[in-house]
Structure 1
Amino acid sequence: MKALVLKNYGKNAQLDFETLPRPVVKDDEILVKVHAAGLNQIDCMIPTGTFKPILRFSLPAVMGSDLAGVVTEAGKNVTRFRPGDAVYASIFDMDKGALSEYAAVPQHAAALKPQSLTFTEAASLPMVALTSWQAFKLSDLRAGQKVFIPAGSGGIGTFAIQLARYLGASVATTTSDRNAGLVRSLGAEHVINYRTQDFETLLSGYDVVLGTVRGEEIAKAIEVLRPGGQLVSLTGPVDVAFARERKMNRIMKAVFWLMSRRMKKLAARREVSYKFHFVHPDGAQLEEIAALIDNSQLSPVIDRVFCFEETLDALSYLRAGHARGKVVVELSQNP
């Protein structure tokens, strides 16, 4: 089978197509013929080595985490799926890859594909849908609250805005003038042009911030929260709670304590909480999301679709940071 393989980390990371044996499924896994794979920003960052201390990823490794396809084989302990089922899944942080003609997927990470979506549409969803779902559960976002979701036209933003509105929250976001109409159509009520306006001077009293951007913008986002509000960061800095969850050694705990110390102090001064969240695969949550999609409550937003042979071009396009919604790679034609 053909797969996109990362051979080494670094500035000149080597990504090549290779012919590999089909995965051999374990007792609790399904073998999926991959029809489409969704790309995420982390796919551009993994080759640099940025996530080497965090991810369970051994080289050489097949790239990608989001997929949709058809089950061709099921392990002897699999009870939720059978050959012929159309599924979608995230295999992020499992030392497995989705940018491959076949992928072995633990049954707990997969769900039946939303019936109303094509494989390409379904493949665009797992990471951004699970990230948004889990972050809002962590923050206990409720109807009537206000949530700030920066970068609303990106992959996570386009889904998180919809989910927040479904939950009954009021949404503010940042984007360019070009994308203002898009984020409004998804449910954003307060749209800020990040090129000409400072969100921290325009927003106040927010209950939740979903940290989708990096650097100083995360620190500024604390200023828009009310006392008791929560900032759930998806981009860091990583904190000690994450190191404990991953059962990391004392050195890594100390490193992450230092990395998050400033943010924790800023949060304490404002009487708000700071949490770092790292998405985890969850087929049960994908089932709930699929039901909402089939009931027309949520929908995917796709910017561009590339063929498998163009995956390196797709990653370059995503890396440029101008995608409106998701970028997807098709491995076989949608039936």
Structure 2
Amino acid sequence: MDICEQRFRAQFREVESLSKKLVLDNLSPRDGHLRRMMLFALRQHTPSDYPFLFRYAACRKEEDSATVKNLAAAVHLLQSSTIITDDILDAGSMRFGRPAFHRQYNVNYAIIATELMQSIAFRTFGSELDRGQFKHPCLVMKILNEILRDLYLCQYLDLYYSARTSLSLSKYYRVIGMGAGYFMSNLARCGAFLAGKPASEVRALAAYGYNYGMALFITDDIVDVIRNPRETGKNFAADLKNARLKLPILLALRMSRGEDRRFLKHVLTNGGPTASDLRRAAQVIQDVGAIAQCTRIARRYLARSLRALSRTKSGVSRTNLAWLSTSLLSAQCLD
């Protein structure tokens, strides 16, 4: 196993453990049901890129990663909160190979869990930045609020554009830019600002984060329609089922003809597609070349991320973040 992958997995185990500790430290032992509920929300996650990217944007040398470990755990809480709301909005029944949070409990508790995660994440950032060992604390708190604002806007637009088969690609890119591009870009900015890195390096890391985030989201959209639930741990073709206009679907609408195109529009606009409809639609998306085109677009974003990264001075940032970019497609067997 590559040394960067070893770090990625080991650091995520640490982040996962710390995030649970942060949650429990902020909840009374008397609230046993709430504590169990929150631990369920944080159990057995797939290793996440978000805290890793933040951590290495904040590093000048490997030893620096330990100083931001609690902040990385707070980043994990922020990102985990979005998973719960995404599952509600997509009516997903599975996540990480087990019942989605709102199915295990209910939607009301799910909303409370996301609010608590975000509150604890912000409290953790406030407490850590109050120690005085980091640069630009006020600016970083402002950027964190921008991250949440953009995520909420992304979720709104994703719903608003559902089933609008004439959606333009520019509008699609705006949506995922808010949900992933700017999320990753702003996390990188936060890390770089906290470390007191020069403006040129902040810009380079922000550009890296944006392009990597776009590639990550597009890759996730691809996986949604080509992998089965045993591999992904979540529902098959959830975007198709909910008429969410993601890149593979938008490209397939443009690349298909005749009966295939009419069928895709039917699935997206008539509501309640059957499992057979979803399988057929996913096959059409692959057959017309939309998956291959999406993969090429993701690869272009990854190439841009690496070009941006080449402008950074920190060797430890370059090494570990370059590994993220070069391994993304191969991790999903898309290289």
TM-score calculated relative to the size of structure 2:
0.29
TM-score calculated relative to the size of structure 1:
0.29
Point out the structure with the larger helix share. Answer: 2
Point out the structure with the larger strand share. Answer: 1
